[in-house]
């Protein structure tokens, strides 16, 4: 199933981030190498990852100064909920704002970039297929 990039939205607390132009997420599973002499020279991993994580990135342009101040003031502190509704379902979890930066200004609107890192379990709930 194809998915439009506009279908993916990111909510900061209960507010959808306005002016987001780019957004994405990356899921990671840190594998645990348990290779031993009994592996006959083949690398072997545990069946369950050691650490699971998710990174969410956004970039865009907004005139919402309250949102920008909230992002900047909360960088690196406090657990925040980020929801990623997609056409196939919704990813949800608690994320920490790892970094936030402003990259320019255009007629009162500010370009920004932000990266969020998961803290705890991230869930996926399948959506209804039309």
The per-residue pLDDT for 11 is 66
* The most confident of 23-32, 65-74, 101-110, by mean pLDDT: 23-32
The per-residue pLDDT for 10 is 65
The per-residue pLDDT for 75 is 62
Q: Is the pLDDT of residue 19 over 80?
A: no
Cβ atoms < 10 Å from Cβ of 91: 20
What's the 3-state SS for 70-119?
A: HHHHCCCCCCEEEEEECCCEEEEEEEEEEEEEEEEEECCEEEEEEEEEEC
For residue 34, give every residue at least 6 positions away whose Cβ sits within 8 Å of its Cβ, in sequence order, or none: 44, 45, 46
Residue 52's alpha-carbon distances to 29, 46, 60, 91, 114, in angstroms, are 5, 13, 27, 14, 21
The per-residue pLDDT for 3 is 46
* Cα torsion 103, 64, 59, 107: sign: negative
The per-residue pLDDT for 58 is 83
Give the rounded percent of residues in the chain with a pLDDT score beyond 70: 69
Convert the pLDDT of each residue in 81-120 to its tens digit: 666 665 667 778 888 888 888 887 778 788 888 888 888 8
What's the average model confidence in pLDDT over 75-85? 59
Q: Is the pLDDT of residue 73 over 80?
A: no
């Amino acid at each position: 199933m194809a998915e439009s990039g506009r279908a993916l939205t990111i909510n900061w607390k209960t507010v959808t981030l306005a002016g987001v132009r780019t957004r994405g997420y990356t899921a990671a599973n840190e594998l645990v190498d348990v290779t031993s002499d009994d592996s006959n020279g083949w690398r072997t991993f545990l069946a369950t990852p050691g650490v699971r994580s998710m990174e969410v990135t956004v970039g865009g342009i907004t005139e919402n100064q309250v949102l920008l101040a909230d992002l900047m003031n909360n960088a690196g502190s406090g657990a925040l909920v980020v929801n990623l509704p997609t056409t196939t379902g919704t990813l949800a979890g608690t994320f920490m704002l790892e970094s936030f930066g402003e990259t320019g200004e255009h007629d009162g609107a500010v370009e920004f970039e932000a990266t969020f890192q998961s803290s705890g379990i991230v869930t996926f709930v399948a959506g209804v297929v039309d």
